[in-house]
C-alpha cells in the first residue's frame, strides 16, 4: 500500500485532535503475532453448511469467535503447503465456488492481475500471487458478504498461503466464529492445518509507533 493505510488513519487521528500516539495492533508494516484470547458470542440462525448459525456451538470450526480485532471481526491464518505457488493459486481459485458459499472476486477499475511474479517482490516476503474472494451467508451476501483476501509467498521449503477474512457489514464487532470457519473450509481443500496469525479470537501484540 506504499504506507497509505497508516497515512489515512494518522490523518484521521490528527483531524480528531487525538494527542496520543497511534497504537498499531496489526498490519501497518508491523510483525505478525499470535497470542491467545477468549471472546464472547454473536448470534444468527441458519442451516447453511458453511455458515455459523444458531447451532455454532456444535461446530468446532465456529468456536473461534472474534470481536473487533480489525475494528470489525476478522481472522488471519497461514498454511504451509508442499506445492508450487502457481498450483496453490489455481487450487485456491478452483475452490472458491458458489456451491459452497464462496466466490472469486475480479473486475472493477483498476483490475490488477493476481500474478505478482513480474514484480520480483522479495520483502517482506517473496510474494508470488494475490487473490480476493467473498463468502456469502443467507443474511449477508453479495456486497454484504465477508471479504476474503489471499496472498501466496514462497519460502526455501514450501509455499505459504496467507488467508484473511473480515466481516463486511459496518458494525460487525463479533462474527460468531464465521471468519475462522470460512478460512477452515478453504484450508480443508488443501488438507492442511491452519496457523492462526491474528484475530480469530486471539490476542494481539501491541506495537507503539
Instruction: Look up residue 63 and give its three cell numbers.
Output: 468456536
> Using alpha carbons only, what angle is made at residue 175 by residues 188 and 185, rounded to the nearest 5 degrees?
10
* Per-position b or e across 16-35, b if 16+ CB within 10 A of its CB: eeeeeeeebbbebeeebebe
pLDDT of residue 15: 58
pLDDT of residue 57: 73
Cell 513480474 -> residue: 118
Write the pLDDT tens digit of every residue in 129-171: 999 999 998 888 888 999 999 999 999 988 999 999 999 999 9
Q: How far apart are CA 114 and CA 110, in angstroms?
A: 12
Does residue 175 register a pLDDT over 60? yes
Does residue 115 register a pLDDT over 50? yes
Q: How far apart are CA 133 and CA 120, in angstroms?
A: 24
Q: How far apart are CA 30 and CA 163, in angstroms?
A: 17
Q: How far apart are CA 199 and CA 69, in angstroms?
A: 5
What is the DSSP secondary structure assignment for residue 200, as one 8-state letter? Answer: T
Q: How far apart are CA 101 and CA 184, in angstroms?
A: 13
Q: Binning pLDDT at 50, 70 and 90, where does residue 18 land?
A: low
pLDDT of residue 16: 64
178: exposed, middle or buried (C-beta count within 10 Å: 0-12, 13-18, 19+)? buried
Amino acid at each position: 500500500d506504499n504506507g497509505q493505510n497508516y497515512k489515512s488513519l494518522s490523518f484521521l487521528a490528527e483531524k480528531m485532535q487525538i494527542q496520543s500516539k497511534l497504537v498499531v495492533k496489526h498490519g501497518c508494516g508491523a510483525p505478525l503475532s499470535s497470542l491467545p484470547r477468549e471472546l464472547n458470542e454473536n448470534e444468527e440462525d441458519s442451516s447453511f453448511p458453511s455458515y455459523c448459525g444458531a447451532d455454532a456451538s456444535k461446530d468446532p470450526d465456529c468456536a473461534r469467535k472474534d470481536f473487533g480485532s480489525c475494528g470489525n471481526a476478522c481472522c488471519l491464518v497461514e498454511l504451509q503447503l508442499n506445492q508450487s505457488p502457481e498450483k496453490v493459486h489455481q487450487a485456491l481459485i478452483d475452490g472458491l465456488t458458489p456451491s459452497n458459499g464462496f466466490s472469486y472476486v475480479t473486475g472493477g477499475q483498476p483490475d490488477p492481475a493476481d500474478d505478482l511474479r513480474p514484480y520480483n517482490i522479495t520483502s517482506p516476503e517473496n510474494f508470488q500471487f494475490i487473490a480476493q474472494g467473498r463468502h456469502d451467508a443467507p443474511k449477508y451476501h453479495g456486497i454484504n458478504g465477508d471479504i476474503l483476501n489471499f496472498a501466496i509467498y514462497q519460502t526455501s521449503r514450501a509455499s505459504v498461503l496467507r488467508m484473511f477474512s473480515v466481516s463486511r457489514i459496518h458494525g460487525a464487532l463479533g462474527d460468531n466464529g464465521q471468519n475462522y470457519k470460512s478460512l477452515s473450509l478453504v484450508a480443508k481443500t488443501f488438507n492442511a492445518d491452519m496457523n492462526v496469525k491474528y484475530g480469530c479470537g486471539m490476542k494481539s501484540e501491541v506495537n507503539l509507533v
